[in-house]
Amino acid sequence: MKSAKVLQLAMASALGFSLVLTGCSSTTTKEASSTSDSKKVTLEFWNGFTGPDGNDMKKIVDGFNKQYEGKIEIKTQTMKWDQFYDKIRTVVNSGTAPDVAAMHLDQVPRMASKGVLTPLDDLLKDSDLKKEDFIPQVWDAGIYESKRYSVPLDVHPIALYYNVDLLKKEGFDKPPATMADFVKIAKATTKDTDGDGKIDQWGFGMPTLWPANLMYYSTLRQFGGESVSKDGMTALYNDDKGVKALQTLSDLIYKDKISPEKIQADGEVTLFKQGKMAMTINGIWMINGFKEQQGLNFAAAAIPQFGDMPATWANSHNFVIPKQKKDDPEKTKAAITFINYVTSNSIEWAKGGQIPAKNSVRDSAEFKALKEQSAIAEQVPYLVFPPASPTYVDVWAPAETAINKALLGQMTPQAALDEAKDKGEKAAKAAK
Amino acid sequence: MALKSEERTTKWVSFVFLTVVAILWMAPLLWIISTSFKPEGQAIQLPLRWIPETITLENYRNVLGDTEQSPIFLWFGNSLFISTLHTLLVLIVDALAAYAYARMAFRGKEIIFWTLMATMMIPTVMNFIPLYAIVDAIHWIDTPWAMIVPGLGGVLGIFLLRSFYEGIPRELEEAARIDGASSLQIFVRIILPLSKPALVTLALLTFLGNWNDFLWPLIVTNKVETRTLPVGLSILQGAYTTQYAKLMAGTVLSALPVLVLFLFSQRFFVKGVSMSGIKG
Amino acid sequence: MKTSVPVEPNLQVSAARSPKKSRTFTMQSITPYLYIAPHLLFFLIFLVLPTGYGVYLSLHDWDLLRPAKFVGLENYYDIFFNKDSIDYSEFWNACWNTFKFVIFAVPVLILVPLLLAIAIDTKTWGSGFFRALFYAPSLLSVVTAVLIWVWMFDSNAGLVNYYLAKLGITGVAWLADLPWAWIALVIITVWWTIGRNLIIFLAGLNDIPDDLHEAAKLDGAGKVSRFLNVILPGLRGPMLFALVTTTIDSFNIFGQSMVATQGGPGTETKTLIMYIREAAFGSYRMGDAAAMAIVMGMFMLIVSVVQFGWINRDRSGRKRRTQAE
**What residues contact A371, with CB distance under 8 A and at least 6 apart?**
A299, A300
| Residues B131-187 pLDDT 10s | 999 998 898 989 999 999 999 999 989 988 998 898 888 888 888 889 888 889 999
Preceding peptide of C265 cis, ω within 30°: yes
Chains interfacing with B (3 or more CB pairs < 8 Å): A, C
Q: Residue A69: which domain range? A: 2-149+317-356
Q: Do C157 and A274 touch (CB under 8 A)?
A: yes
Given an 8 Å threshold on Cβ–Cβ distance, is A410 in contact with C156?
A: no
**Residue A109, min C-alpha distance to chain B (Å):** 23
Query: In chain B, what residues touch C42 (CB-CB under 8 Å)?
Result: 93, 149-150, 152-153
- Rounded Cα distance between C206 and B4, Å, is 20
- Segment A232-241 mean pLDDT: 95
- Cα gap C180→C178, rounded to integer Å: 5
Instruction: Compute the distance between CA of residue A153 and CA of residue A318 in angstroms, rounded to an integer.
Output: 5
B71 contacts B225 by C-beta, under 8 angstroms? yes
Check CB contact of B133 with chain A, cutoff 8 Å. no
For the cut 80, the answer to whether the pLDDT of residue C93 exceeds it is yes
CATH, residue A39? 3.40.190.10
The answer to whether residue A275 neighbours chain C at the CB level (below 8 Å) is no
What is the least distance, in Å, from the CA of C191 to any CA of chain B? 7
Give per-residue pLDDT as tens, B15-59: 999 999 999 999 999 999 999 999 988 888 878 899 998 899 999
Euclidean distance between CA atoms C269 and A128, whole angstroms: 49
* B22 contacts chain C (CB < 8 A): yes
In a domain, A86, yes or no: yes
Q: Domain count for chain A, please give it.
A: 2
What percentage of chain B exceeds 90 in pLDDT? 43
Neighbours of A33 (CB within 10 A): 13
Domains and CATH numbers, chain B: 84-229+268-279 (1.10.3720.10)
Does residue B131 belong to the interface with chain A, where contact is any CB pair within 8 Å?
A: no
State the Cα–Cα distance between residues C17 and C21, nearest whole angstrom: 7
Q: Choose, out of C69, C78, C155, the residue to mutate when testing the contact with A (most A CBs < 10 Å).
A: C155
Name every chain A residue with its beta carbon within 8 A of the beta carbon of C285: 430-431
Beta strand A72-78 pairing with A41-47: parallel
Asked if residue C1 has pLDDT above 60, the reply is no
Q: What is the mean pLDDT of residues C162-170?
A: 90
**A103 and A64: one domain?**
yes
Nearest to A404 by CA among A280, A262, A306: A262
Residue of A nearest to C280 (CA): A86
Note whether residue A49 is domain-resident. yes
CB pairs under 8 A between A and C: 89
Q: What is the pLDDT of chain B when averaged over all its residues? A: 87
Q: Are residues A303 and A344 both part of a single domain?
A: no
pLDDT-wise least confident of A300-304, A341-345, A422-426, C170-174: C170-174
CA C61 – CA C283 distance, rounded (Å):
12
Instruction: Identify the DSSP state of B38.
Output: S
CA-angle at B273, arms to B271 and B275, nearest 5°: 70
Q: Are strands A143-144 and A147-148 parallel, antiparallel or unpaired?
A: antiparallel
B54 shares contact with chain A (CB less than 8 Å): no
d(CA A351, CA B223): 27
Contact C86 A429 (CB under 8 A): yes
Give the largest CA-CA distance in chain A: 76
B177 vs C: CB within 8 A: yes
CA atoms of B33 and B55, how far apart (whole Å) = 11
| Residue C317 pLDDT | 55
Amino acid identity, residue A272?
F
Bridging pattern class, strands A41-47 and A100-104: parallel
Q: Distance, in angstroms, between A148 CA and closest chain B CA?
A: 27
Instruction: Determine, yes or no, domain membership for A418.
Output: yes
Q: Which residues of A touch C281 (CB under 8 A)?
A: 86-87, 90
Residues 6+ apart with CB under 8 A from A416: A246, A401, A402, A403, A405, A406, A410
Lowest mean pLDDT among A181-185, B139-143, C3-7: C3-7
Task: Say if residues A139 and A131 touch (Cβ distance below 8 Å).
Answer: yes
Same-domain status, A165 and A280 = yes
Nearest residue in B to A88, CA atom: B222
pLDDT tens, A84-109? 888 898 888 888 899 999 999 989 99
- Nearest CA of chain C to the CA of B83: how many Å? 13
Query: Does C154 sit within 8 Å of A209, measured CB to CB?
Result: no
Is the model's pLDDT at B111 over the cut of 90?
yes
**How would you class A198 by CB atoms within 10 Å of its CB: exposed for 0-12, middle for 13-18, buried for 19 or more?**
exposed
A interface with B, Cβ–Cβ < 8 A, is: 50-51, 54-55, 58, 76-81, 83, 87, 90-91, 93-94, 96, 266, 269-270, 273-274, 289, 292-295
Interface of B with C in 179-208 (CB under 8 A): 183, 208
pLDDT digits (tens, 9 = 90+) for A382-393: 999 988 788 898
Interchain proximity C86–A209, CB inside 8 Å: no
Both A323 and A307 in one domain: the answer is: no
Helix (H, G, I), strand (E, B) or coil at A27: helix
Question: Which helix (H) or strand (E) covers residue A395, if one does?
Answer: helix A392-407
CB B75, CB C189: distance < 8 Å: no
When CB atoms are compared, the residue of B32, B93, B234 closest to C151 is B32
Which percentage of chain A shows pLDDT scores above 90? 65
The CATH homologous superfamily to which domain C74-324 belongs is: MetI-like (1.10.3720.10)
Cα angle for residues C138, B146, A94 (degrees, 5° grid): 135
Note the pLDDT of residue B17: 95
Question: Of A212-226, B52-66, B131-145, B238-252, where does the model show the most confidence?
Answer: A212-226
Residues A143 and A178 both lie in one domain: no
Same domain, A62 and A203: no
Outline which parts of chain C fall under CATH 1.10.3720.10: 74-324
CB atoms < 10 A from the CB of A308, how many? 10
The dihedral built from the CA positions of residue A119, A121, A124 and A128, taken in this order, carries a sign that is positive
What ipTM was predicted for this assembly?
0.87
| Distance in Å, alpha carbon of A292 to nearest chain C alpha carbon | 17
| CB C17, CB B136: distance < 8 Å | no
Pick from B113, B158, B208: CB nearest C5: B113
The span from the CA of C163 to the CA of B46, in Å, is 12
Per the CB < 8 A criterion, the answer to whether A178 and A308 are in contact is: no
> How many residues does this entry show for chain C?
325
For residues C58, C63, C64 and C65, what is the CA-based torsion angle, rounded to 10 degrees?
Answer: -140
Q: Are residues A287 and A298 in the same domain?
A: yes
Mean of the per-residue pLDDT values of chain C? 85
**Chain A within 8 Å of B218 (Cβ-Cβ)?**
yes
Please answer yes or no on whether B224 and A266 come within 8 Å at the CB atom: no
Helices (H), B125-243: 128-137, 145-148, 156-166, 171-178, 183-186, 192-194, 196-212, 215-220, 229-239
Q: Do C156 and A90 touch (CB under 8 A)?
A: no
User: Has residue A192 got a pLDDT over 50?
Assistant: yes
Q: Which residues pair with A383 in a beta bridge?
A: A312
CA B265, B269, B272, B275 dihedral sign is negative
Kindly tell me the sign of the dihedral angle through the C-alpha atoms of B154, B156, B160, B166. positive
For residue A34, name the pLDDT band (cuts at 50, 70, 90). Answer: very low
Spatial CA neighbour of B172 closest among B159, B162, B181: B181
In this complex, do C262 and A274 lie within 8 Å of one another by their Cβ atoms?
Answer: no
Q: How far apart are CA C114 and CA A6, in angstroms?
A: 68
What mean pLDDT, rounded, does chain A reach? Answer: 87
Phi and psi for A205 in degrees, rounded to 5? -125, 110
Residues B61-85 have a mean pLDDT of 87
Query: Per the confidence metrics, is the pTM higher than 0.90?
Result: no
Q: Is A375 inside any structural domain?
A: no
Helix axes C10-17, C21-43, angle to 10 degrees: 150
How many Å apart are CA A216 and CA A219, to the nearest integer? 5
* Per-residue pLDDT reduced to its tens digit, B200-234: 878 887 888 898 889 999 999 988 889 999 998 88
Residue B180 to residues A115, B100, B107, B171, Cα–Cα distance (Å):
66, 19, 25, 14
Cβ contact A85–C267 (<8 Å): no
Is A371 within a domain? no
| Residue C282 at interface with chain A, using a CB cutoff of 8 Å | yes
Nearest-angstrom CA–CA distance, A103 and A319: 6
Q: Are A43 and A10 a contacting pair, CB within 8 Å?
A: no
pLDDT above 70 covers a percentage of chain B that reads 96
Across the interface, of C31, C138, C147, the residue whose CB is closest to B233 is: C147
Mutation for testing the B interface, residue in A45, A80, A271 having most B CBs under 10 Å:
A80
Flag whether residue B185 sits within 8 Å of chain A, measured between CB atoms.
no
pLDDT (tens digit per residue) in C219-244 = 877 778 888 888 888 888 888 888 88
Q: CA triplet A130, A133, A139: central angle to 5 degrees?
A: 70
